A = this chain, B = another copy of it.
Amino acid sequence: MRQKKKSELLTEVELEFMTELWDLGEGTVRDVLDQLPEERNLAYTSGATILRILEQKEFVTSRKDGKRHVFKPTLGKDAYQTRSLKDLSMKLFDDTPASLVARLVNDDALTEEALGQIRALVDRRLKNDSG
């Protein structure tokens, strides 16, 4: 019996929609479509389908407001960020977060300012743990 693998991860378009919902807090199909860039010409029904799928997968819930559905994430952006990082780390960094950061800080495109911020973050966390 083959277990249906539920990926826990958003597809490309699902992420696109969740990103707008995270910004909005919640919203209707129309609200989300209005957030998308001009050049993204997506039919209204396509948007409705994506949100229907997100609800099936339980990434959002909906309530009714008049005749419309208002959709709202069940999973915070921060939680999904953590999940994505875990996935990337597993698939590409041998499940070793330090090596992920290593690759990041060795990227020449990274600014000194960003590096400083990163160090401050790490320091703060280390202090809190030990203090």
Contact = CB atoms under 8 A, between A and B. Distances in A.
Contacts of A102: 121
A86 B106 CA distance: 13
Number of chain copies forming the complex: 2
Contacts of A80: 92
Do most interface residues of chain A lie in helix, strand or loop, or is the interface mixed? helix
Contacts of A15: 91-92
Contacts of A116: 126
A86 B110 CA distance: 10
A73 to B, nearest CB: 14
Contact of A104 (B77, B91, B97): B97
A118 B122 contact: yes
